[in-house]
């Protein structure tokens, strides 16, 4: 997603290339000011509040927010007798995070001997996403990981013909799908319910969440597990696809204008990073505060 994840320009699976004459380093890291107010909540209180956050992008990871120590509540960080080695940024010292009686072990870190090229991170601290109660931009909670300012979603209406079938049975037939273009992903096609034979859809127990779209539910189709998905309620920015169904082309047969679609290499979402243990329960209505 965005710059460094999935097939973004800094990811290991990038689909484009930099037009330069020489070879680039195997790993490119990028840091920039977030230019948004970000806050961290832990133990029922705000432990960090800053308008001077730096985002770090590194290959294969979601962006990570780094805070000035001056913007972190005094006493919230307790040094640990633990040091790890970052492949590019050198030694990392770890902290216990404390708020009142609440304690989280190994919940924040700081790179202590940065190379000269990484001076933007000097003296800054990052919090382990899963260890904190919540992260906010202004008064809105940010789910899953720090929002990537280069991640974009565009939705377009189209009159192209889409047919989804499984083992010879037509499940969907439409000339009015919506196509969703999302940074780092191939286009995804969403079909109106009226153009679907819903008797072929069996609700699956799985639920996942997308930090940019919301909670996702799934269908099995015959023996094809998790062959389709939909967002019962989406975030306002992508409300046009709410309750529409998209079909996975590696699970069922999907034709677009007569051409069979296939899941492109690098399109499978692989959970990654300390934030990926976040559960769906934490993003359900009523759990935002």
| Mean pLDDT over the full length of the chain | 91
Per-residue pLDDT tens over the stretch 144-176 = 888 899 999 999 999 999 999 999 999 999 999
| pLDDT attached to residue 89 | 96
Q: What percent of the chain has pLDDT over 70?
A: 93
Question: Token pair 């195997």 is at which residue?
Answer: 26
Structure tokens at 255: 């034709």
Rg for the chain, CA atoms, rounded: 22
* Average pLDDT rounded to a whole number, residues 265-271: 67
Higher pLDDT, 285 or 42: 42
Higher pLDDT, 275 or 269: 269
| pLDDT attached to residue 94 | 97
Q: 30-150: which CATH architecture?
A: Beta Complex (2.170)
Stretch(es) of the chain classified as CATH 2.170.150.40? 30-150, 153-260
Residue 289 predicted with pLDDT over 90? no
Residue 286 predicted with pLDDT over 60? no
d(CA 174, CA 202): 20
| pLDDT attached to residue 281 | 73
Per-residue pLDDT tens over the stretch 20-73 = 998 888 899 999 999 999 999 999 999 999 999 999 999 888 899 999 999 999
Residue 273: pLDDT band with limits 50, 70, 90: low
Residue 184: pLDDT band with limits 50, 70, 90: confident
Residue 288 predicted with pLDDT over 60? no
The residues facing 198 across adjacent strands are none
Candidate from 7-11, 269-273, 278-282 with smallest mean pLDDT: 269-273
CATH of domain 153-260: 2.170.150.40
CA angle 188, 254, 200 (to 5 degrees): 100
* Average pLDDT rounded to a whole number, residues 80-108: 96
Residue 275: pLDDT band with limits 50, 70, 90: low
Residue 8: pLDDT band with limits 50, 70, 90: confident
| pLDDT attached to residue 254 | 98
| pLDDT attached to residue 127 | 97
* Average pLDDT rounded to a whole number, residues 194-216: 93
Residue 287: pLDDT band with limits 50, 70, 90: very low
Higher pLDDT, 26 or 120: 120
Residue 88 predicted with pLDDT over 80? yes
Residue 75 predicted with pLDDT over 60? yes
């Amino acid at each position: 997603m965005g710059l460094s994840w999935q097939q973004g320009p800094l990811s290991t699976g990038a689909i484009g290339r930099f037009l330069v004459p020489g070879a680039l380093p195997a790993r490119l890291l990028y840091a920039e000011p977030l230019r948004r107010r970000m806050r961290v909540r832990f133990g029922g209180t705000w432990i960090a509040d800053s308008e001077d956050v730096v985002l770090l992008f590194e290959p294969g990871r979601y962006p990570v927010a780094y805070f000035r120590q001056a913007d972190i509540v005094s006493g919230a960080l307790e040094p640990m007798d633990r040091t790890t080695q970052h492949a590019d940024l050198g030694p990392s010292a770890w902290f216990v995070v404390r708020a009142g009686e609440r304690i989280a072990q190994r919940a924040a870190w700081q790179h202590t001997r940065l190379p000269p090229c990484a001076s933007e991170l000097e003296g800054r601290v990052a919090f382990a996403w899963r260890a904190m109660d919540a992260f906010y931009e202004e008064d809105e909670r940010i789910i899953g990981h720090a929002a990537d300012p280069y991640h974009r979603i565009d939705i377009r209406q189209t009159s192209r013909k889409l047919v989804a079938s499984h083992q010879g049975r037509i499940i969907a037939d439409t000339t009015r799908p919506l196509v969703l273009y999302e940074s780092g992903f191939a286009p995804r096609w969403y079909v109106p319910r009226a153009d679907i034979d819903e008797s072929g859809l069996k609700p699956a127990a799985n639920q996942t969440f997308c930090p940019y779209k919301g909670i996702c539910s799934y269908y099995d189709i015959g023996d094809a597990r998790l062959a389709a998905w939909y967002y019962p309620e989406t975030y306002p920015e992508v409300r046009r696809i709410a309750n529409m169904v998209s079909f996975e082309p590696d699970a069922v047969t999907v034709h677009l204008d007569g051409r069979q679609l296939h899941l492109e290499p690098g399109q499978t979402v692989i959970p990654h990073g300390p934030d990926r243990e976040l559960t769906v329960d934490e993003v359900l209505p009523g759990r935002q505060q």
